Structure 1
Amino acid sequence: MLATAKIAKPKRYEEILVAAAECFQKQGFSATSIDTVARHLGATKGRIYHYFPSKVDLFNAVRDRAMELAFDGIREGYDAKLSPVERLHLMTLGHVKCMMLHHSYMQVLLDGLQMQRFGATTEFQREAMERHLHERNTFETWYREVIELGVAEGTMAVRSMSVTLQSFLVALNGPVFWYRPREGDGEEKLNAIAEEVVVFALKGLGIDAVPPISTISRGA
């Protein structure tokens, strides 16, 4: 699971992942090849094949890294010793900012489970698909746990947890589809956009008063 310590990868490996994420985002899985990624990176195919035996393996590695980034975005709020509303506020802010700061990775992440239709032909690929499904479920469970705590204490309202949770996550994932980085988009602007998306999503749970993030003490 992603709560375990990460093993540092060589710089070249990381550069390949970034280039691949950008290619998969812009051109899609079918139109992207190892050649495409190599040209985008300004490297040889051999450099990529040194780490990844196939395009599917490269795609899975990009999605693995994207999932790590997504968990990193919500982990502080999930682990915080705060009220459910405050925890959810921190989780959602981290989530939305991750969608904007790691745009290419997040697009690949959201498209990743569609890889089932391409088929998993090797043991490594089958294991990757099972891992992706497990991680997706764990990610959703973290949100479900905090929302259930809020419902239990009366600070959140949910009719159907499954429908509400999926709709909630769609709202948080939204910036992947409509946000595009512009020159001058600093931290202040990103925070303002994230807060607006978060307020919209939290209202769907009956949370009308969202505490300013500056007033939240993370706890121990």
Structure 2
Amino acid sequence: MIEDLSRSQQEILDAAAECFMKMGPDVASIDDIAGLLGATKGRIYHHFRSKGELLYAVRLRSVSLLMEKVSPIAAQDLPPVEKLRAMSTAHVMRILQFLSYHRVVSEDTRMFFRGSAKPHEKEMIQQIIELRRDYENLYRGVLSEGIEAGVFAKQSISITLHSIIILMNGPCFWYSPRPEQTDKDLEEIARSVSDLVLRAVLAEPALLKGE
């Protein structure tokens, strides 16, 4: 579904993510999303059966956006340090470019309480869980490569993985877009966060370029 979104579906999800971010999923309504789109509720219901389905679709797209950018980098034949730098930089850039999607995910953690979810929504939840696991495994792979090569510190991969994900997702909480910011400014933020990620995993942090 997320890989084959039509332009109309993308526009609806963009508006939904914006409303969920600004108002919260409990408060934002289909009317609010339609109003932001300048469309009728019928246009939304043509593609999405409920607000719950919209919320899960926003969550699924947030992970899909990361996967489509980072997985090609993970597949490249690069040294572990260079690969992790590129992967983490790409991750942060995605966060900055699609902030509303990722902020909704970071601020609303209730998706795993499945009691009220409809059957098709539970299927979407399972998709999210599986895609997120696949995404995390990209980082498990490069961390394993780096540890085996002796360039990353020998430490728990699971603890390291979840720690660097917290670092990479940090802009969800503290970044505020400004009209004067350029792509170059965003790239500098992404590189700075990537440096923090590398310092957390390198066997010799002083090996970072410029130190």
Could you tell me which of 85, 98, 102 is aligned with 1:102? 98
Q: Which amino acid in structure 1 is aligned with residue 197 of structure 2?
A: A
Q: Which residue of 2 aligns with 1:14?
A: 10
Match among 192, 207, 210 for residue 209 of structure 1: 207
Equivalent position of 2:122 in the other structure: 126
Partner residue in 2 for 1:151:
147
| Deviates further, 159-168 or 85-94 | 159-168
- Picking from 184, 187, 191, the partner of 1:191 is 187
Instruction: Report the count of equivalent residues.
Output: 208
How many Å apart are 1:138 and its aligned residue?
A: 1.1
What whole-Å deviation, never above 9, does each CA across 1:36-59 have from its counterpart, x for those lacking one? 211221211111111111111111
How far apart in 2 are the matches of 1:22 and 1:125?
A: 21
Q: Identify which of 118, 133, 136 aligns with 1:140.
A: 136
Moved more, 137-146 or 70-79: 70-79
> How far, CA to CA, are the matches of 2:13 and 2:105 in structure 1?
13
80-89 or 202-211, which deviates more:
202-211
Unaligned 5+ runs, structure 2: none
What's the counterpart of residue 69 of structure 2? 73
Q: CA deviation at 1:115?
A: 1.3
% of aligned pairs identical? Answer: 36
Q: Look up the equivalent residue of 2:120 and give its one-letter code.
A: F
Contact 2:12 2:37 in 1 (8 A): yes
- Asked if 2 retains the 8 angstrom alpha-carbon contact of 1:19 and 1:40, the reply is yes
Q: How much has 1:113 moved relative to structure 2? A: 5.0
Q: Are 1:29 and 2:29 an aligned pair?
A: no
Aligned residue identity for 2:184: E
2:73 and 2:173 map into 1 onto residues whose CA distance is 24
Q: Structure 1 CA distance, aligned partners of 2:114 and 2:32?
A: 19
Residue pair 1:99, 1:173 contacting (<8 A) in 2 also: yes
| TM-score calculated relative to the size of structure 2 | 0.91
Letter in 2 for 1:153: A
Q: Tell me, what secondary structure is at the counterpart of 2:113?
A: helix
Distance 1:177 1:101 in 2: 14
User: Using the alignment, how far apart are the partners of 1:100 and 1:187 within structure 2?
Assistant: 10
Matched, 1:168 2:168: no
Is the Cα–Cα contact under 8 Å of residues 114 and 122 in structure 2 kept in the other structure? no
Q: Which amino acid aligns with 1:122?
A: K
Q: Gaps spanning 5+ residues in structure 1: where?
A: 213-220
Judge which range, 114-123 or 139-148, deviates more: 114-123
Give distance in 1, aligned partners of 2:108 and 2:121: 12
CA contact (8 A) 1:172 1:198 kept: yes
Once residues 187 and 166 of structure 1 are traced to their aligned partners in structure 2, the CA distance between those partners, rounded to angstroms, is: 28
Displacement of 1:209 = 3.0
- Inter-partner Cα distance in structure 2 for 1:11 and 1:73: 19
SS at match of 1:60: helix
